């Protein structure tokens, strides 16, 4: 059934009805991932891809991916390390691997909407499977600044990866 425009904007899992080829965020790696790898990785349970539809049920305005991850003990800043015992399995985390907004939809709050949606999903999942942090992979310095705007901090031992404590995520999503 074709979705009515009144159902928009909304988030939904990436599916064959979405026009992946039309998506362009200006970062070839993120465009290429959506076109060629995202559906396959969803099928294999490697990561979920959620798309944002704003004014057309097939046109992808933005997307994010989520999967389970693990932080090694030594990756955390020293002050935080003290708060976590040395769990043999490392510290459970949620990876927001990719987040991008199509260039035609930039600067209108959709990046923030995608980020909050990913954080809310991460937080809800912790009721079933515990996770102490959300980690993001920033593709470049500009992407890092976007995440820092929301309180993420760089993992000292892993440049390009930033983290936010799930306690902070909880406060953000519960308002």
Note the residues at the interface with ligand COA (CB under 6 A). 25-27, 30, 98-101, 106-112, 138-139, 142-143, 145-146, 149
At closest approach, how far in Å is the CB of 81 from ligand COA? 26
Q: Give the residue at shortest CB distance from ligand COA.
A: 111
Whether cis (ω within 30° of 0) applies to the bond prior to 9 is yes
- First and final C-alpha spacing in the chain: 35
Nearer to ligand COA, 19 or 148 (CB): 148
Nearer to ligand COA, 89 or 142 (CB): 142
Nearer to ligand COA, 26 or 74 (CB): 26
137 three-state secondary structure: strand
Report angle CA 71, 48, 118 to the nearest 5 degrees: 70
Nearer to ligand COA, 95 or 166 (CB): 95
At closest approach, how far in Å is the CB of 9 from ligand COA? 12
Nearer to ligand COA, 30 or 91 (CB): 30
At closest approach, how far in Å is the CB of 172 from ligand COA? 13
At closest approach, how far in Å is the CB of 85 from ligand COA? 31
Nearer to ligand COA, 7 or 112 (CB): 112
At closest approach, how far in Å is the CB of 34 from ligand COA? 11
Torsion of CA 3, 122, 129, 133, to 10 degrees: 170
At closest approach, how far in Å is the CB of 105 from ligand COA? 6
Side-chain-facing half-sphere of 59: CA atoms under 13 Å: 12
Closest CA to 70 of 46, 92, 96, 95: 92
Q: Determine if residue 144 is left, alpha or beta; phi over 0 gives left, psi from -120 to 50 gives alpha, anything else beta.
A: alpha
Question: Whats the size of the chain, residue-wise?
Answer: 175
């Amino acid at each position: 059934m074709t979705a009515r425009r009144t159902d928009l904007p909304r988030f939904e899992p990436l599916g064959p009805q979405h026009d992946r080829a039309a998506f362009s965020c200006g970062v070839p790696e993120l465009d290429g991932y959506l076109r060629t790898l995202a559906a396959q990785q969803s099928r294999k349970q490697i990561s979920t891809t959620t798309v944002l539809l704003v004014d057309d049920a097939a046109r992808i305005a933005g997307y994010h991916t989520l999967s389970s991850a693990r932080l090694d003990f030594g990756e955390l800043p020293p002050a935080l390390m003290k708060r976590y015992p040395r769990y043999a399995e490392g510290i459970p985390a949620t990876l927001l691997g990719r987040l991008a907004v199509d260039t035609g939809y930039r600067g209108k709050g959709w990046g923030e909407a995608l980020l909050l949606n990913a954080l809310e999903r991460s937080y809800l999942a912790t009721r079933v499977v515990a996770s102490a942090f959300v980690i993001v992979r920033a593709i470049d310095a500009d992407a890092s600044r976007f995440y820092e705007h929301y309180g993420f901090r760089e993992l000292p031992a892993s440049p390009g990866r930033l983290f936010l404590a799930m306690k902070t995520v909880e406060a953000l999503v519960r308002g």
